[in-house]
Structure 1
Amino acid sequence: MESEHNERPSVAHDGTQLDAPSAGDGAPSAAPGKGAPLRAGLLRSGLVVSMMTMLSRVLGLARDVTIATLFGAGSGADAFFVAFKIPNFLRRLFAEGAFNQAFVPVLSEYATRRTRAEVRELLDAVSGSLTVVLALLTALAMLLAPWLAWLFAPGFSDNSGKLALTADMLQLTFPYLLLISLTAFSGSVLNTWNRFAVPALTPVLLNISLIGAALWLTPLMETPPMALAWGVLIAGVAQLAFQVPFLARLGLLPKPWPRFAHEGVRRILRLMGPALFGVSVSQINLLLDTVLASFLVSGSVSWLYYSDRLVELPLGVFGIAIGTVILPALSKRHAEQSPEHFAKMLDWALRAVLLIGLPAALALAVLAEPLLISLFYYGAMTENDIAMAAMSLRAYALGLVAFMLIKVLAPGYFARQDTKTPVKIGILAMVANMALNLALIVPLAHAGLALATSLAAFLNAGLLGLGLRRNGVLVFQPGWGRYAWQLGGGCVLLGLGLWWLSPDWQAWLSWDVWHRVWVLSCLVLGGVVAYFAWLAICGIRLRHFRLTG
C-alpha cells in the first residue's frame, strides 16, 4: 500500500510530481486578453468528454438498432451507408483530422503568446476561409454526385437502382460536410478554452435526428431510405446552431471573412497538407474497405458498418476522448517550451488508453455474437447477418488498441507542428493496408478487409511511437513493467470469465429483448467489476491518473 508521501499523479511510482508549472514557473504567460485558456485536469477533462461521448455512442447504437430494424442489411441500407460514409469520411479527414490537428496548435500558440485582438483576427480569417473552400467543394460534389457514388461504390454499378439511390442520397448528405466542418471549427475553439463538454455532446444531435427521421419521415417518403439522408442534413444544421451560443458567451464568435494571406491561415494550410494522411489514415483504410466490399455479396457493406459501429463505442468514448484533451494540452506545453511535461503527458495518455483499450477489445471479441444479437437482431436482420458481422467485429476488435494508440500518438507530432512525419508513416500504412486487403479478401471476404485495417493500424501506431522515441519526445516513465503485468492479469481474468459464463450464441437468438439485455448487462457489469477489482488488488488507484493540462 502506497503512502501519501510517495503518491504521485501518474501511474509511474518514482515520486515525481507531474503537475504543470504555472506561468509564474518560468513558462510564458497566457494571452493577455480576457478569456485566455485556463489549465484543466486531464483526467477530469477526459472523463467529461468520455461521459458526453458515451451518451452520444449509446444513442448512436439506438440509431443503428432503428436502422437495422427498419432496413436490415439490404440495398437501401447499403446505399445510405455509402452516401453517409463519403461526407462523414471527409469530415473526419478534413474537419476532425487535418484541420483540427493543424488549427489547434496554431490557435493554442496565439492564445498563449498573442493578444486577444490577434486571436479574434485569426478566428475571423480561418472561419471565413474555411467556409469559402467548403462551400465550393460541397457545390461541386452535389453536381458530381452520380460519379462520386460510382467512384466510392463501383460494385453498385451492377444494380442501377441501387447506384442511383446512392447518388440521390449523396446530394442530401454532402452539405453535411460544410455544416459539420464549421461545427468542428467551433469545437476546436471551445476545446482550446477547455470547454470540452459542449463539443463532446454535439454528436448526440446527429443520432436524435437520424432516429427521428427513420421513425417519422420514413412513412412519408416514396423511397423510405431517403428519410435517413434528410436526417443527416437536418443534423448538420442543428449541430452548428447548438455551438454558436457557447462561442458567443466566450466572446469568441467569429465574423467570417476569407483571408488566405493571413499569417495564421497560411501556417494552418501548410500544416494541413501533410496532416490529411496523418491521424486520419485509419478512416481512409475504412473507406477502402467499403469500396472493396461493394464488390462482395449484398450485405457486406452493412456487416462491416455494424461491426465498425461497435468498435467505435470504446474508441470514441476513451481513445478519441483522450486524444481530444491531450492535443490542446500538448500544444500549450510545446508553446511553453516544457519538454519534460510534454513527455509525461504522452506517457499518461498511453497508459490511460491501454487501461481501457485492452479489456474492451477482449470483450468485443468474446461477446461478438451476443452483442450483435442484443442490439441488431430484430426486424429485417437475419441470423446469417449476425454471423457475418461477428466475423468482421472480431477482426476490428483485434486492432482496437492500435486505433486508440494512433489517437494519442499522432498529437505528439501535431502539437509540435510536425505534420510531415505522420504523413510519411500514414502512406506506408495505407500501402500495407491495400496489400493486405488484396491478400485477405479472397479467403476471408469482408472479414479479411477488417483484419487488414487492424493490421495496418498496428503498423501505423508502431511507427508513430518509434519516431517519437527516436526524437526523445516519448520518454517512458518508471513503472511500465509492473503496469504490464497488472493489466495482463486483469485481461486474463476478464477473458476467461466472459468465455466461461456466456451461453452459446445460438441460444441468444430465441430469447426476447429483455432477456438478452439482462444477461448481457450481467456479463458486462460482472466483467467490469472483476477487472477493476483485480487492478485495485494490484495497487492501481484513480489518483495515479491525475494530471494537470
Structure 2
Amino acid sequence: MAVGTLASRVTGFLRTAMLVAALGTDAVADAYNTANTVPFIVYDLLLGGILTAVVVPLIVRARERDSAYGAQYEQRLFTLAVLGLSVITAIAVLLGPVFITIYGGKMQGDQRELAVLFARLFAVQIFFLGVSAFSGAILNTRKRFAAPMWAPVLNNIVICCTAGAFLLVVSGKVTPESISSGQITLLTAGTIGGMALQTLALWPSLRGSGFRWRPRLDFRKGELGQMGRMASWTLMYVVITQIGFAVTTRLANAAGVEGRQEGIGNVGYTPYFNAYQLFQLPYAIIGVSVITALLPRMSEHAAAGRMAELRDDFSSGLRLCSAVILPAAALMAVFAPEITTVLFAHGHTSEGDALVIANVLRAFAIALVPFAAYQLMLRVFYSMQDTRTPVFISVAVVATNIAASIAMYSLLPTEKIIVGIASGFAVAQTVGAIVGWTILRGRLGGMDGRRVFTAYLKLAVAIWPLIGFAYATHAIIDATLGLGLLPGLLALAVGSAGGGLLYLVFAKLLRVGEVQSMISMVAGRLPGRG
C-alpha cells in the first residue's frame, strides 16, 4: 500500500508541478484550483466522511453476521450511492456561482467568471469521485488495498499530459482575460477525464474480489435508520470542518487579490494549495496506508468488545506512523526552499513564487505529526461506531483554526497572511490531537501512553542528528552554489540520504522498535532476501 501510495503521490507532485508550470500561481491558477477544489468539498460534505465513518464498519458487521446478507447489503449501499451521486452532481453544476461566492474571496470580473465556469464543468467529477471512493471502501473491507492506492496514478498521468499539452498550445502567460475557449476545453477535458479513468480502473479489482453489482434498493427494516443515525453525526462533522475550510480558502483568495493589487506577487490560494499538497505526502504514504489497513481490524475488535486490542491497534499505528512522519517533517522544514524550487520554479512560475510556497510549507511541517495522530484517533471513534464524539472535537479544532486564520489575516502584512493561516492550521490540529487523546483515554481504559511517549522521546533524540546534517547541507550548498534546480537536487539528495542514515543509526542505537521493524521489513523484500 505504501508503495502504491508513494507512486500516486510522486505522480501527484509531478501533476502539481506541471500545472504550476502551465498556469503559474496567479489569477488563472487561483480560479482553476478554487473551482477544482469544489467537487472534493461537495463530495466530502455529502459522502466522503460517511464512507470512512459509516460504510466500512457497517459492511464489516453485515458480513460477519452472514456472508450472503453482507453481499446484498453492499449492493444496496452501492445502488443508493450511485443514485445519490447523480442527483448531487446535477445540483452542484447549478450552484457553481454560489460556490465561488463562498470560496472565491474577493474574486471579481473575468477571474470570477472563469472560476464559475470551471466550477460548473468540474462538478461532473463528483460522480466519478464518489463511485471511485465507494469502490475503494468495498475493496478495503475485502482486504484488497492495492488498487485504490494505484488508481490515482492514472489520473495524475492524464493531468500531466493535459498540462504539457496546455504549455505547447499557449504562448506567453495566460490571464483570465486572454484564456481561450479551446484552452478551457483542454483543461476541463483532461481534469474530468483523469478522474473518470481513475474510477474505471477499480472495476477489474472489484470483480476479482467477487463483488457483483446488481442494482437493488430493497433495504430491510432498520438498515436505513441505522445508517442515517450514524451518517447524521458524520455529516455534521464534515459541515463543521468545511466551514473552517471555507473561511481559510476565502481569506487566502482575498490575500491573493490584495497581493496583486499591491504589486507584491502571488501570495494567495494557489501557493497555499500547493504547499498543502506537499505537506500531505508523508501522511499519505504511511499514515493513510496504516489507517486503511487498521480500520477494518479496529472495527472487528470494537464489534467484539476487545478494547485492549483496539488500544494496541491505535498505539502500534501511531508509533509506526510517527517513526516515518517525524523525520519527514524535519526534512520538509529544512529543505522547503529546495523542494519548492525543484518542483515549481519552471514555466510560468518564478523562483520567487516557489519561495512563497516554501514559507507556507515550513508552517505546515509543524502540523504533520499532530495531524496524523488526530486522523488516526478519529478512526478509533469510527471503528466503535461513534460518529458523535468527533463532531464535538471538530468544534474545538475548527473554532481554533477560524480564530487563528482571522487573526492572521487581520494582523499580518499581505505577503505573510497565507503563512499565518498555515500556522493556525498547525495549532488547530494540535488541539484536536490533545482533545481526542483525552477522550479516548477514558473510553479505552488508557492509551498505552508509556510506550507511546517513550517512543516519541527516543524519536525526538534520534531526529536531531538528521536536522543538523540537513541544515548544514542546506547552508553550505546555498552559500556556494545558490538556489536552483541542480543545487536544489544536490542538497535534497545529500541532505536526505545523509540525514536519513544518521536518523536510522541513532534510532537503532536507541532501540526504537518501529524503525527496526521497518528496516527488517524492507530488507526482507529486497531481491535475494525474502
Query: In which range does the TM-score fall when normalised by the shorter chain?
Result: 0.7 to 0.9
Residue 374 of structure 1 corresponds to which residue in structure 2? 342
Shift of 1:243: 1.0
Structure 1 Cα separation of the partners of residues 92 and 453 of structure 2: 52
Among 81, 86, 93, the residue aligned to 2:33 = 81
CA displacement, residues 11-36 of structure 1 (integer Å, 9 cap, x when unaligned): xxxxxxxxxxxxxxxxxxxxxxxxxx
- CA 1:194 to 1:271, structure 2 compared with 1: closer, same or farther past 3 Å? same
Q: CA RMSD in A?
A: 2.4
Structure 2 Cα separation of the partners of residues 283 and 403 of structure 1: 16
- CA 1:143 to 1:502, structure 2 compared with 1: closer, same or farther past 3 Å? same
Residue 145 of structure 2 corresponds to which residue in structure 1? 196
State the SS of the aligned residue for 2:106: helix
TM-score normalised by L of structure 2: 0.88
CA displacement, residues 156-191 of structure 1 (integer Å, 9 cap, x when unaligned): 12xx11111111111221111111111111111111
Structure 2 Cα separation of the partners of residues 403 and 500 of structure 1: 28
Q: Is the 8 A contact 2:44 2:238 kept in 1?
A: no
Structure 1 Cα separation of the partners of residues 477 and 349 of structure 2: 16
- Counterparts in 2 of 1:22-33, with a 5 A limit? none
Structure 2 Cα separation of the partners of residues 182 and 148 of structure 1: 22
Residue 59 of structure 1 corresponds to which residue in structure 2? 11
Residue 319 of structure 2 corresponds to which residue in structure 1? 351
State the SS of the aligned residue for 2:254: coil
Structure 2 Cα separation of the partners of residues 322 and 284 of structure 1: 28
State the SS of the aligned residue for 1:327: helix
- CA 1:364 to 1:280, structure 2 compared with 1: closer, same or farther past 3 Å? farther
Among 224, 228, 252, the residue aligned to 1:293 = 252
1:172 aligns with 2:124: no
- CA 1:50 to 1:279, structure 2 compared with 1: closer, same or farther past 3 Å? farther
Structure 1 Cα separation of the partners of residues 33 and 21 of structure 2: 15
Shift of 1:531: 0.7
Residue 537 of structure 1 corresponds to which residue in structure 2? 509
Structure 1 Cα separation of the partners of residues 215 and 481 of structure 2: 54
Q: Is the 8 A contact 1:172 1:229 kept in 2?
A: yes
Q: Is the 8 A contact 2:341 2:355 kept in 1?
A: no
Among 389, 398, 405, the residue aligned to 1:430 = 398
- Counterparts in 2 of 1:374-393, with a 5 A limit? 374-393=342-361
- Counterparts in 2 of 1:294-313, with a 5 A limit? 294-296=253-255, 297-298=259-260, 299=266, 300-313=268-281
Q: Is the 8 A contact 2:360 2:422 kept in 1?
A: yes
Shift of 1:513: 3.2
Structure 2 Cα separation of the partners of residues 473 and 259 of structure 1: 40
Residue 133 of structure 2 corresponds to which residue in structure 1? 184
Shift of 1:478: 4.9
Structure 2 Cα separation of the partners of residues 217 and 91 of structure 1: 28
- CA 1:338 to 1:508, structure 2 compared with 1: closer, same or farther past 3 Å? farther
Shift of 1:526: 1.5
Among 236, 258, 269, the residue aligned to 2:195 = 236
CA displacement, residues 76-128 of structure 1 (integer Å, 9 cap, x when unaligned): 11111001111123334444423222101111111222x22211221121111
Structure with the larger RCO, 1 or 2 (CA within 8 Å, 6+ apart): 1
CA displacement, residues 403-422 of structure 1 (integer Å, 9 cap, x when unaligned): 11122110110001000000
Among 90, 99, 104, the residue aligned to 2:42 = 90
Q: Is the 8 A contact 2:22 2:167 kept in 1?
A: no
TM-score normalised by L of structure 1: 0.85
- CA 1:199 to 1:496, structure 2 compared with 1: closer, same or farther past 3 Å? same
Matched letter for residue 216 of structure 2: W
Residue 267 of structure 1 corresponds to which residue in structure 2? 226
Structure 1 Cα separation of the partners of residues 232 and 427 of structure 2: 26
Q: Is the 8 A contact 1:314 1:360 kept in 2?
A: yes
Shift of 1:362: 1.5
CA displacement, residues 462-501 of structure 1 (integer Å, 9 cap, x when unaligned): 1111110021255316534542332011111111111122
Residue 495 of structure 1 corresponds to which residue in structure 2? 467
Structure 1 Cα separation of the partners of residues 146 and 50 of structure 2: 22
1:145 aligns with 2:114: no
CA displacement, residues 211-243 of structure 1 (integer Å, 9 cap, x when unaligned): 111123565663535533322211222122111
What are the ranges of 5 or more consecutive residues in structure 2 without an aligned counterpart? Answer: 170-179, 261-265, 522-530
What are the ranges of 5 or more consecutive residues in structure 1 without an aligned counterpart? Answer: 1-48
Matched letter for residue 224 of structure 1: Q
- Counterparts in 2 of 1:94-173, with a 5 A limit? 94-113=46-65, 115-157=66-108, 160-173=109-122
Shift of 1:427: 1.7
Shift of 1:335: 2.1
Shift of 1:55: 0.5
Q: Is the 8 A contact 2:8 2:152 kept in 1?
A: yes
CA displacement, residues 307-352 of structure 1 (integer Å, 9 cap, x when unaligned): 1111011121122222211111100112233222111101111111
- CA 1:344 to 1:544, structure 2 compared with 1: closer, same or farther past 3 Å? farther
CA displacement, residues 411-467 of structure 1 (integer Å, 9 cap, x when unaligned): 110001000000111122111211111111231411111111111111112111111
Among 433, 447, 453, the residue aligned to 1:475 = 447
